[in-house]
Structure 1
Amino acid sequence: MPFDHDPVIIAARRTPIGIRGRALARLRVEELAAPAIRAALADAEIATGPLPAVADVQLGNCMGPGGNPGRIAALASGLGAEVPGGTVDRQCGSGLAAVIDAVAAARIDTDSVRVAGGVESASTAPVRSMNGLPYSRAPFAPDGFADPDMVRAAEDLAGRDRISRSRQDRHAGRSHARARAAAEAGRFNDELVPVAGLDRDEAIGGAEPLLLRLPAIFPGGTLTAGTATRFGDGAAALVLARAGSTPGLAVRACATIGCDPAFPGIGAAHAVRTVLRRAGVETADVSAFEIVEAFAAQSLAVLDRLGLADDDRRICADGGALAIGHPWGASGAIALVRLFSRLVRTGSPAGTLGVAAASVGGGMGVAAVLEVVR
């Protein structure tokens, strides 16, 4: 159990995830983040009463316009000029890394309330140039290292691990089926903050018979558009405060690791193994996993390394990024929002454990073990 001075996630909200270029395409990053921040803070005040002043806003972001989106979002959410803000870039692990950083800061500044999360607008990400020529992303690794784009890296991983097309199709279909069932049952309702008229995750669909008809992305390959996540627009915000009588999630252990840049998709597996060891627990002790699904092949490679079954109901039980979408810098924080809904909102008993994790471009992994407190 955490000590009284340990920070606890006491509120967690996210926007719906829009497909790049569609419902949320006109919103800047601060216009996505501010509603989530305001909603999370409002939830926290309902749970605890008036809050102390927010000490900081820390957001993950990896493809935005620069200018410190964390600070811009803090101002846009109405927190006032005296509240600073910062931005973390660990690519697809940025949102989770931002929360981990905020937890570390809150353990020193024990009376503070902090907001952390992530935001990404794939639709408004700027076009960048190098030597006068446009490019879609910055390098993930320097000269002398492998630097595949994430689609190529996932295909290479599928080939190396002999992950078949049919297995990938089943995994993606399962993610969509779980997300559809969760949406129809209203399990996303309490975490969602509608924005720009969108009140649902735009990418959920992908019935397995449709997936079977999609062509491979690479000649002779196994990846398809259906077994790759949809890039998207969205934000998530979590409120951290000192442990008390309010239910929440305490971070019991965290880990950030490096791995071979040629196979970045397996980073989450190494990070999860590390964080479980630090927490002194096994996979069997964990009630809920939220592991960011960038590609079916990548997700399956992680599960294989962790000794977890493809259809384990603990893993992304309401569907993962394959179904709901992947707003890069926000996805790690969305994983934490999902754990909050699955464990805290549903009344799981104190001591119940969850794990959030993400693999990261350039060969990294980020993970955290979280414990329900009441």
Structure 2
Amino acid sequence: MREAVIVEAVRTPIGKRNGALAGVHPVELSALVLRELVARTRIDPADVDDVQWGCVTQLGDQSSNIGRFAVLAAGWPETVPAVTVNRACGSSQQALDHAAFAVMSGRQELVVAGGVECMSRVPLGAARQMGEPYGTTARVRFGGSDFSQMSGAELIAERWGLSRRQLDEYAALSHERAAAAIDSGAFARQIVPVPTDAGRFEVDQGLRRGTTAETLASLKPVSREGGVIHAGNSSQISDGAAALLVTTPERARALGLTPLVRYHSGAVIGADPVLALTGPIPATEKVLDRAGLSIENIGAFEVNEAFAPVPLAWLADTGADPARVNPLGGAIAVGHPLGASGAILMTRLVHHMRDEGIRYGLQTMCEGGGTANATIVELVGN
């Protein structure tokens, strides 16, 4: 089987709800990162075999196969196809898997993977206003569950014995790490500035500097009386987009491009849909086994911070080094634009690996309905 490599990875800064990106249509935001891929790599977009584009809430401004219209808005030839992928929060991570698998199989040679979500325009839960997304049979099978991720986060905190204080301390650490990453310029190379009516937007917007466990202690639980989950230890509602270019090492060489990382291994699993957010634990185990690696071999992890209990439970079960997990902060600090988050995390991960000389990186995402993706990439040259 052929190898697949990521030769470029770009993202927009993440806008907070009703913030800097609220006035930018998601098709235009998607087109921006597609055009940036071409500008940086100087590929002919006519040579792109396919575009795999993640998006979760495919309603309104994000409907009608948004990936296809992003390609057209980018000015690419109409011969370039695109498909929109929905695996809940892991949509654009799954898009990367699809791209890598197509290249590795020999069916395609140059594929774009990425995604978008503009939650300011199409809010989380919008589908519920139009009908019943789960049906009766699945609810009955799982005891009448409403498959709420927030309820799942509460259950995880309870099952793993995670206190409100522990969750808030983790949330504060996410902000501290994100602030340090922004201040050091760690994101500068990967970010595509977005022109807006208010000016040039180029820094992740959700960061709240000076956040501490003490300041978070005043926030009220949002799920239930006496609960431990609140807005401050949950991911932020956000807007953003990201894109990665995947090809073979041979094609990269022919194009004069230097790969960032090679796609090493990928896995996807299904887990308890009521807990909903524990999937990254078995997904990590599965992808490590498939790769023939141990947790100690991985130099950097991106474990999506949907809620603080997710990475903390993952840490407890995997035994990973906490210093290697979300070293640049995460979605609690800067936001979680659903369909874009997988590609955003991978963009952060591969640039961090290049900056720090880290051989192996692992990314994993919890996803609505209890599924999870896990992906391992390897620094080229190691």
TM surpasses 0.5: yes
Say whether the 8 Å CA contact 1:74–1:85 is kept in structure 2. Answer: yes
Aligned residues: 360
Matches of 1:340 and 1:42, distance apart in 2? 19
The residue number in structure 2 matching 1:291 is 303
Residues 238-257 of structure 1: pairs in structure 2 closer than 5 A: 238-244=244-250, 246-257=258-269
Cα gap change, 1:51/1:125 in structure 2, threshold over 3 Å: closer, same or farther?
Answer: closer
Residues 36-47 of structure 1: pairs in structure 2 closer than 5 A: 36-45=33-42
The residue number in structure 1 matching 2:216 is 211
Matches of 2:37 and 2:146, distance apart in 1? 37
CA drift at 1:134: 4.5
The residue number in structure 1 matching 2:121 is 124
Say whether the 8 Å CA contact 2:57–2:126 is kept in structure 1. Answer: no
Say whether the 8 Å CA contact 1:51–1:113 is kept in structure 2. Answer: no
Q: What is the percentage of aligned positions where both structures have the same residue? A: 36
The residue number in structure 2 matching 1:142 is 138
Secondary structure of 1:92's counterpart equals coil
Secondary structure of 1:358's counterpart equals strand
Matches of 1:128 and 1:325, distance apart in 2? 19
Matches of 1:176 and 1:229, distance apart in 2? 11
TM-score computed with the length of structure 2 as normaliser: 0.89
Matches of 2:356 and 2:68, distance apart in 1? 34
Matches of 1:278 and 1:304, distance apart in 2? 22
The residue number in structure 2 matching 1:258 is 270
Amino acid of the residue matched to residue 192 of structure 1?
Answer: I
CA drift at 1:303: 1.6
The residue number in structure 1 matching 2:227 is 221
Matches of 1:73 and 1:215, distance apart in 2? 40
Matches of 2:26 and 2:152, distance apart in 1? 28
Secondary structure of 1:275's counterpart equals helix
Residues 177-196 of structure 1: pairs in structure 2 closer than 5 A: 177-195=176-194, 196=196
Q: Single out whichever of 268-277 and 109-118 deviates more from structure 2.
A: 109-118
Cα gap change, 1:348/1:57 in structure 2, threshold over 3 Å: closer, same or farther?
Answer: same
Unpaired runs of 5+ residues, structure 2, are none
Matches of 1:280 and 1:7, distance apart in 2? 18
Unpaired runs of 5+ residues, structure 1, are none
Matches of 1:106 and 1:263, distance apart in 2? 34
Determine whether 1:335 maps to 2:345.
yes
TM-score computed with the length of structure 1 as normaliser: 0.91
Residues 1-374 of structure 1: pairs in structure 2 closer than 5 A: 5-45=2-42, 53-65=47-59, 66-109=63-106, 112-125=109-122, 128=126, 134=130, 138-139=133-134, 142-144=138-140, 145=142, 146-195=145-194, 196=196, 197-205=200-208, 207-208=211-212, 209-217=214-222, 218-244=224-250, 246-309=258-321, 312-344=322-354, 346=355, 348=357, 352-374=359-381
CA drift at 1:216: 2.2
Matches of 2:107 and 2:6, distance apart in 1? 14
**Cα deviation 1:310-355 (Å, max 9, x = unaligned):** xx221111111111100011111111101111012x1626xx1100
Q: Single out whichever of 216-225 and 103-112 deviates more from structure 2.
A: 103-112
Amino acid of the residue matched to residue 109 of structure 2?
Answer: S
CA drift at 1:251: 1.3
